[in-house]
Each structure stands twice: as structure tokens, then as C-alpha cells.
Amino acid sequence: MSTESWVPKTLAVSCPHERGHISDSAFYGHCYGTETSRRIFCDICRYQRWLDVEAALAIVQGEVGLLPEDVGRAIADAAHVENLDLTAVRRSIRESGHSLVGLLRAFQDVCPGKSGQYVHYGATTQDIQDTAQSLEMRNVLDELDRLLRLSVTSLVSLAERHGSALALGRTHAQPAVPLTVGVKIAGWIGEILRHAERTSAMRSRVLAVQIFGAAGTMAGFDTKGLEILDRLAARLGLTAPTTAWHVARDRVAEFVSTLAMVAATMGRITDEIRLLSRPEIGEVEERWHHGAIGSSTMPHKRNPEVCEQVVALSRLATGLVGPALLAMGGDGERDARALRIEWACIPDISHYCLAACEMTSTVLARLQVNRARLRANLEAASDQIASEKLMLALADRLGKQTAYDRLYEVIARARENDRAVRDELLADPELGRILDTNELDRIFDPVNHLGASEQVTQRVIAAATSWLDGQPLTVAMPRHRTMFASTKDVGL
């Protein structure tokens, strides 16, 4: 037997070591990002976006007469990343320590005639990168809108097919009162619709041009700065802000925070699906397909893998809010500390959020609802879920608080004696005479204690359908009068 110790083999020198982030993994990247998110934040596509901003700026500067108009067009015609020597760009970044100069030099080299001398005229690096970053965030929001619509479409379909089915309402992981499946689904839909409203409303705030020059004064644009700003914003489809936002990073913080909230919602929905799919509950299930493997040692396992991954993504996403808020702490007129944080935060939150939304839409599209288990679980908890309606029926005779106290004691005795609440109630000398058998039958039938379940479900479905049809979500809140004449009346 050899006594030689085993040592790990060194990687072949042919490995280029190009992938170091989990979202870029050739094997696991699909679990942490999407094809769209990787396309948006691809190095080459990002460089093309920077060139697009430089091209748009040159065209606008030609339109306002800051540059010869034919020069602006020549710059724009040359603004194709495949024209550039990217190896030289990479080398220049390492040597200069600057994130854009290498690209600008390579770009200038491919511009015809003397037009390259006018590239990046009057702008600063952050102007180009922030504006391109706004274009990236817009692409993310466009894809997010598409994915939210997929989830809402599936949820509306589920509500229409299973919304009337009775289910056990649970609070604090314990039986509460009966509800319909539609009410639970409506809660999911309502939260997603609020995110759709948030992401729509924030576009005009977040997706802004940054073209203010070295210190926010536009001095490099002579007297044409504001005109260039407005024209560039219109050309790129972005907002023209009132002032520079080189260090005012609330836009990015709002973007990251909102996407984290969206991911958290997807985590909540899929985590509840995971919980309700436990065999002892069994009310819903991710559709299984032959070939899916839950365990390398237990062939029977059908784990809710996608739901678990969405929860993991939601937790990763929420962890990025803190760094994004820290990036708001810049000083002076420009501060690279914020940018270096954002360059990590924005791609990561986008990968995680879009992946969570894509996976959730897949789960919802093939979610199976087990009506038989819904009924069985409801019947198993019939004693408990009737307590509110039973108390209210007794309250008509005894008063609400007295009825609550008396019923509390009855339920406690029933549990101690391992008896049904109904039997314990009928055995009570006083309470047993208050409600007759027919009334008790009605009270213990869960269909009679659903409240506005149907109306709530239909109202949310109507709102979702309207949004899917392209109608805005914003609803004006009704005006109301305060009960106080002024703040003096409440001691303020």
C-alpha cells in the first residue's frame, strides 16, 4: 500500500479563469441570474453602452453647434465596440488605474480623421458611466415588469380556478379562521401590484442623465450645457435632472432597495408554497418532472428546490440594501467610493431579483393545488376555526367580552378532556341552552364564516386584469376630514 499522500491536482494552464462570480458560473449561474441579467451586465455590452452615450453626446453637441455636426456623426458612426482593441483597453486600465481612459483612447484611434479629438468633449468619466448605468437600470426594470406580469397572470389563473376552494387560515403557524384560496392568492397579487406601481413611479426619478461635467457646473459645454442636457435626455429616453447627482446617490439607493423588496416578496410567496407543500400539510406542490432529483441518497425525495432557491436569492438581495445606502455618503462634488460600491450592488441586485422573479413565475405557472388536502386540513381544525363565530353568536346574548371569557374556559376544558368543543359547550349548564343544534351546525360550517373573501378576491383580480391590460395602478385616495380642528387640539 502506498504511503504517498494524495494532493489535489493543479488546474491545467489552459484554464483562462474567466468566471469568478456565482452568477457567471457555467454550471450554476442559472440559479443566481438570468440570461437577460447577464446580457445587461456583460463587460462587452457595458462598453457598448458607454460608447452609445459618447455617440449620443457627440450628436447632440453637433446639433447645438458646440462641435461641427459632421464630427458628431463621424464619432457616432465609429461607436461600435467590435472596432476597438479590447486587449489594449484592458492593459490601459491596469496601467492607468482609470476606468474609462483606456476605452476613450481606443475609441479615439478608430474615429475617422480628426473627429477622435472631439470624443468626450466637456464631459467627465462619471457623466458617461452614470448615464449608461441609468440605461442598464432601465433594461432591468423593463425585464422586471415582464416577469411580474408573468407571475400575476399565473396567479390570476390560479385564483379563477381555485379561488372559491375553502382553506385553513393560519396565524402564527396555528389555525385561525377559514378563508378561501382566493384570499391567499389575492394577498400575493396585491403585493406584486404594489411593486409594479413602485417600479413604474420611480422610473422618472431614478433613470436620469448625468452630463454635468467635472464639478456639476457644465463649464466644459460653454453656454449650451442645459440644452445639451435636455437634448441628450430626450435622445436616450431618460429624465433630465435639475442638478448633478455625482454624489447624490439616492437614485441608486432607491433602485437597489426597491428590487430588494421585490425579491423579498418572491421569497415570501415561495417560502409559503414550500411550507404548504410539506407532506403533513400537502395543500400545494411544485409540479414534479421525471428526471428531477431531490437527494443523492434518498430516491423518494421531491424537494421544493426552486422555492428554496428563491428564498436564498431574496436573502442575498436584501443584504445589498445596506451597502447601497452606505454609497449615499459621498462628499464634495464627486467621490469614487460610492461608485465602486454601486458597481457591485447594481449588477448583483439585478441578477438576484430577476432570477427570483423568473423562478417564482415558473413555480406559479405549474403550481398544483390539492383540494382534497385543503378540505381534510380544514376539517381537522374545525373546532378551532369556529371559535370566533361561536363567540360572536354568544356575544349577542352575553356581551362580547363575557362570551369570550366563557368560551375560553370551555375550549380549555375541551382540550384537557380531549373532547370536541361542541360537545363541551353543550355540556355546559348555561351555554348549552343558548344555542340550539341547528345554529351550532351553521356556526361550525366554515362556509358561513368567510366574510368578504369572495369580494376581496374579485376586487384584486379586477385590479390585476386592468394592469395586465395596460391601465395604470395609481388610485387616488379619498379625501377625509380630521376629527380635530387643528394640531392644537391634540397638544401638538
Q: Which residues contact 346 (CB under 8 A, 6 or more apart)?
A: 41, 133, 136, 137, 252, 255, 256
Closest among 101, 107, 105, 108 to 125, alpha carbons compared: 101
Task: Look at the block and give the residue holding cell 483562462.
Answer: 16
Q: Is 172 a catalytic residue?
A: yes
Answer yes or no: 115 catalytic: no
The CA R_g of the chain, rounded to the nearest whole Å, is: 31
List alpha helices for 399-483, DSSP H. Answer: 400-417, 421-427, 437-444, 453-468
User: Which residue's entry shows cell 387640539?
Assistant: 489
Q: Which candidate in 172, 290, 300, 480 is catalytic?
A: 172
Residue 250 DSSP SS3: helix
C-alpha cell at 331: 462628499
Determine the residue type at 233.
Answer: A
Residue 245, SS3 per DSSP:
coil
Active-site residue among 96, 204, 295, 466? 295
Question: In terms of DSSP bridges, do strands 166-171 and 174-180 run parallel, antiparallel, or are they unpaired?
Answer: antiparallel
| Residues contacting residue 214 through CB under 8 Å, at least 6 positions apart | 124, 220, 333, 334
Which grid coordinates belong to 179? Answer: 378563508
The C-alpha atoms of residue 112 and residue 197 are separated, in whole angstroms, by: 46
| Cα distance between residue 423 and residue 403, in whole Å | 17
Distances (CA, A) of 391 to 276, 406, 418, 430, 434: 29, 9, 20, 14, 12
Give me 184's grid cell. 391567499
**Cβ within 8 Å of residue 148, ≥6 positions away:** 192, 195, 196, 199, 262, 357
d(CA 172, CA 231): 55
3-state secondary structure 303-371: CCHHHHHHHHHHHHHHCCHHHHHHCCCCCCCCCHHHHHHHHHHHHHHHHHHHHHHHHHHHHHHCEEECH
The candidate with the shortest Cα–Cα distance to 127, out of 254, 234, 233, is 233
Three-state DSSP class for residue 174 = strand
Q: How far apart are CA 111 and CA 121, in angstroms?
A: 14
Q: Which residues of 211-224 are buried (b: 16+ CB within 10 A; e: fewer)?
A: bbbbebebebbeeb
Residues identified as active-site: 172, 295
